[in-house]
């Protein structure tokens, strides 16, 4: 985006005719990143006193434009006074004010208001420098209606063919979650630059269209060599897909052919660390971290978060210490989310409490909801539900659905009694955020275990009345560089018949090894015991693993599966036995963490 902004700035007027004093003033206003408001007012006063003859010249227009830009970032009232005292402001002045508001943290909506005022001036017209900043402000504020109105003006004023205006439109539509509109703008562009391609690729990644983003990247390659922006966006697409092969190819391409600007070096490497750990290759993630010439706190955070979701708590603690001792960096809020998550995934209560206290006492990081959530979940799943409830009661922030679900899940599993489970479920359903089906299912099992079938029936009725649908399970697996997606009970894959036949054969093999269905997490609506087993046997991760095994060329490389939901107990047991029976390593990322299955056991130690 920096390239886009720099290129779309209007040309500066010549300063040849300015007096030496005015040249000094112009130098300050041009070269400074920011100028404090008192200094701006002093400069303004000096301009009025020492250069009244410039009041109506092109040079004064540029001086006032710089004053406007800096003041709009700080004081809205003074900016408007300054603007209204400029005689006959031209389009350049309007553009400067629009640009300033677009960059402002507090007054972005004012950019469109100034744009509307410009449209009302009979003697002035917006130009190709006007629209990118209006669209930037609309994108940041998600103002779809105003952005579409701006698009209409783009077409009306004949600026639709300008590459930078089109790039801004692509970014605007992507920010508002309309990738189809962004693609239409891109397809109509008569001429495309590398920024154009970066804009559409980044737009698709932004809305989760990772496949399309990668296809765009492949289409771009014959015409343009990727830069730091391209690489970072495509790495993020690989991360979203779990496409390790593509990510590794991109990394190799980056090392061989791409000249990355030093300012992108840390950003790109941080993205690589995140890509590798989210694709299940922690070894490569740590290699990137170790090879970096410079590292920031985000570099270490990416490694710590990666180690945490892989369940490697001891290495998390080691990297936490190295960040402080080697690079002299202070951990921040995200660092402690990673450390506390690591404690949670391993059930390390004492360590979790120690780091939670260390966060505020030593590093002055105030705990937020995520930190409390990690600690509450850790205590609850370790059987210390009373302690967890005490923390929730004393929290300075309101507990969210995740915390109540953690307490409900733990109280159900540990038989804490119907009263407590009911209270947790009530708190969870009061939130009305997202699906309540999980709470209904957990609570129904508590009632069923106590033979309170009337309450079980009531819960079923509530579920049907609310039509509270559950997010469908989806798993993806990469085979020969192509990512295949499967949904629970999926029959859309062209090799579905073969996959299901092989899955049935696998089930027979694991039954011979001692596998028995765990029906504790079977769907509530399935009445018959055999039907419950059937539904569990069609979970998406089993289909993905069956397909991968059908196409397995070597048992040296692990199968990597990515699931959008938490893996159930039955599938967890099934995959452990598959890893032993088929002599294969299976790495699976579910919603919470990574599971590495080898020789009949899992890296999570059955604690997840």
Give the number of C-alpha atoms closer than 13 A to the C-alpha of residue 173, restricted to the C-beta side: 22
pTM, entire model: 0.75
Pairing of strands 601-602, 474-479: unpaired
Cα–Cα distances in Å, from 410 out to 84, 346, 402? 64, 16, 12
Residue 414: is its pLDDT beyond 90? no
Q: Looking at residue 36, what is its pLDDT?
A: 80
In terms of pLDDT, which residue wins out, 54 or 206?
Answer: 206
Q: Give the highest mean pLDDT range of 56-70, 310-324, 430-444, 472-486.
A: 310-324
Give the pLDDT mean for 114-140.
90
In terms of pLDDT, which residue wins out, 214 or 264?
Answer: 214
Q: Which of 39-43, 112-116, 420-424, 522-526 is predicted with the least confidence, judged by mean pLDDT?
A: 522-526
Give the pLDDT mean for 546-568.
90
Q: Looking at residue 450, what is its pLDDT?
A: 66
Give the pLDDT mean for 128-132.
93
pLDDT bin (cut points 50, 70, 90) of residue 442 is: low
In terms of pLDDT, which residue wins out, 140 or 151?
Answer: 151
Q: What is the pLDDT of residues 73-114, one digit of tens each?
A: 677 778 777 787 777 788 888 888 888 788 777 677 788 988
Our CA angle for 483, 484, 487, nearest 5°, is: 140
Q: Looking at residue 452, what is its pLDDT?
A: 72
Cα–Cα distances in Å, from 442 out to 316, 415, 446, 467? 33, 12, 7, 17
Nearest to 307 by CA among 325, 328, 323, 285: 285
Q: Looking at residue 526, what is its pLDDT?
A: 46
Separation CA 4–CA 195 (nearest Å): 7
Q: Looking at residue 168, what is its pLDDT?
A: 94
pLDDT bin (cut points 50, 70, 90) of residue 469 is: low
Q: Which of 103-117, 132-146, 232-246, 479-493 is predicted with the least confidence, judged by mean pLDDT?
A: 103-117
Residue 292: is its pLDDT beyond 50? yes
pLDDT bin (cut points 50, 70, 90) of residue 3 is: very low
Structure tokens at 508: 């027979």
Give the pLDDT mean for 582-586.
94
In terms of pLDDT, which residue wins out, 568 or 462?
Answer: 568
Residue 487: is its pLDDT beyond 60? yes
Q: Looking at residue 535, what is its pLDDT?
A: 57
Residue 131: is its pLDDT beyond 90? yes
Nearest to 371 by CA among 346, 401, 339, 324: 339
Q: Looking at residue 173, what is its pLDDT?
A: 93
Give the pLDDT mean for 519-544.
64
Average pLDDT of the chain is 83
Give the pLDDT mean for 315-333.
97
Compute how many other C-beta atoms are within 10 angstroms of the C-beta atom of residue 165.
Answer: 25
Q: Looking at residue 13, what is its pLDDT?
A: 39
Q: Looking at residue 258, what is its pLDDT?
A: 67
Q: What is the pLDDT of residues 388-397, one digit of tens each?
A: 999 998 999 8
Q: Which of 52-56, 270-274, 375-379, 586-590 is predicted with the least confidence, judged by mean pLDDT?
A: 52-56
Residue 151: is its pLDDT beyond 90? yes
In terms of pLDDT, which residue wins out, 80 or 135?
Answer: 135
Q: What is the pLDDT of residues 224-280, one digit of tens each?
A: 988 878 888 999 999 988 889 889 988 988 888 766 666 668 888 999 999 999 999
> Which residues are CB-neighbours of 416 under 8 A, at least 6 positions away?
385, 410
Q: Looking at residue 520, what is its pLDDT?
A: 62
Which residue intervals of 382-452 are DSSP H helices?
Answer: 385-394, 401-413, 418-430, 437-449
Residue 28: is its pLDDT beyond 90? no
In terms of pLDDT, which residue wins out, 139 or 527?
Answer: 139
pLDDT bin (cut points 50, 70, 90) of residue 22 is: low
In terms of pLDDT, which residue wins out, 60 or 272?
Answer: 272
Q: What is the pLDDT of residues 166-209, one digit of tens each?
A: 999 999 998 888 989 999 999 999 889 998 999 999 989 988 88
Q: Looking at residue 35, what is its pLDDT?
A: 75
> Which residues are CB-neighbours of 214 under 8 A, at least 6 positions away?
234, 237, 238, 241, 243, 246
Structure tokens at 89: 């402001």
In terms of pLDDT, which residue wins out, 566 or 453?
Answer: 566
């Amino acid at each position: 985006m920096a390239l886009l902004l720099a290129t779309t700035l209007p040309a500066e007027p010549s300063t040849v005719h300015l007096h030496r004093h005015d040249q000094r003033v112009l130098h300050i206003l041009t070269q400074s990143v920011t100028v404090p408001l008192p200094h701006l007012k002093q400069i303004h006063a000096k301009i009025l006193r020492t250069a009244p003859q410039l009041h109506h010249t092109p040079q004064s227009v540029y001086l006032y434009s710089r004053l406007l830009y800096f003041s709009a970032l700080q004081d809205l009232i003074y900016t408007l006074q300054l603007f209204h005292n400029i005689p006959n402001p031209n389009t350049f002045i309007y553009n400067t004010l629009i640009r300033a508001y677009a960059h402002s943290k507090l007054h972005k909506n004012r950019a469109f208001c100034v744009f509307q005022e410009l449209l009302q001036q009979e003697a002035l017209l917006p130009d190709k420098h006007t629209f990118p900043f209006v669209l930037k402000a609309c994108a940041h504020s998600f103002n779809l209606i105003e952005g579409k109105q701006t698009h209409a003006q783009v077409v009306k004023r004949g600026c639709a063919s300008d590459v930078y205006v089109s790039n801004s439109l692509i970014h605007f539509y992507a920010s508002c979650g309309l990738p189809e509109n962004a693609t239409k703008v891109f397809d109509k562009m008569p001429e495309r630059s590398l920024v154009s391609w970066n804009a559409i690729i980044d737009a698709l990644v932004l809305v989760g269209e990772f496949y399309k983003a990668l296809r765009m990247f492949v289409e771009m390659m014959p015409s343009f060599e990727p830069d730091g922006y391209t690489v970072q966006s495509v790495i993020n697409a690989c991360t979203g897909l779990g496409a390790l092969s593509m990510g590794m190819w991109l990394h190799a391409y980056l090392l061989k052919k791409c000249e990355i600007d030093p300012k992108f070096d840390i950003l790109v490497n941080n993205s690589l660390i995140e890509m590798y750990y989210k694709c299940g290759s922690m070894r490569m993630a740590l290699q990137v971290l170790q090879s970096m010439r410079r590292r920031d706190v985000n570099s270490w955070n990416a490694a710590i978060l990666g180690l945490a979701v892989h369940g490697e708590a001891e290495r998390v603690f080691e990297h936490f210490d190295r960040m402080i001792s080697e690079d002299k960096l202070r951990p921040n809020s995200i660092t402690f989310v990673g450390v506390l998550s690591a404690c949670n995934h391993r059930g390390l209560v004492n360590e979790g409490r120690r780091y939670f206290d260390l966060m505020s006492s030593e590093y002055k990081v105030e705990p937020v909801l995520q930190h409390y959530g990690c600690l509450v979940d850790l205590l609850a799943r370790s059987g210390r539900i009373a302690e967890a409830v005490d923390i929730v009661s004393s929290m300075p922030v309101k507990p969210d659905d995740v915390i109540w679900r953690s307490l409900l899940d733990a109280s159900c599993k540990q038989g804490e009694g119907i009263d407590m489970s009911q209270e947790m479920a009530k708190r969870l359903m009061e939130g009305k955020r997202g699906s309540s089906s999980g709470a209904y299912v957990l609570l129904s099992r508590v009632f069923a275990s106590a033979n309170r079938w009337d309450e079980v029936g009531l819960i079923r009725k509530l579920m049907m009345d609310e039509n509270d649908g559950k997010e469908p399970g989806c798993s993806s697996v990469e085979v020969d560089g192509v990512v295949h997606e499967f949904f629970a009970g999926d029959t859309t894959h062209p090799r579905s018949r073969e996959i299901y036949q092989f899955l049935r054969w696998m089930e027979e093999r694991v039954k011979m090894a001692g596998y028995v269905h765990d029906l504790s997490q079977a769907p509530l609506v399935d009445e018959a015991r055999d039907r419950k087993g059937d539904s569990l046997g069609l979970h998406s991760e089993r289909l993905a693993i069956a397909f991968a095994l059908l196409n397995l060329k070597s048992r040296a490389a692990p199968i990597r599966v990515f699931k959008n939901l938490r893996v159930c107990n039955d599938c967890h047991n099934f995959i452990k036995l598959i890893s032993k029976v088929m002599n294969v390593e299976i790495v699976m990322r579910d919603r919470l963490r990574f599971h590495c299955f080898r020789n009949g056991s899992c890296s999570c130690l059955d604690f997840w």
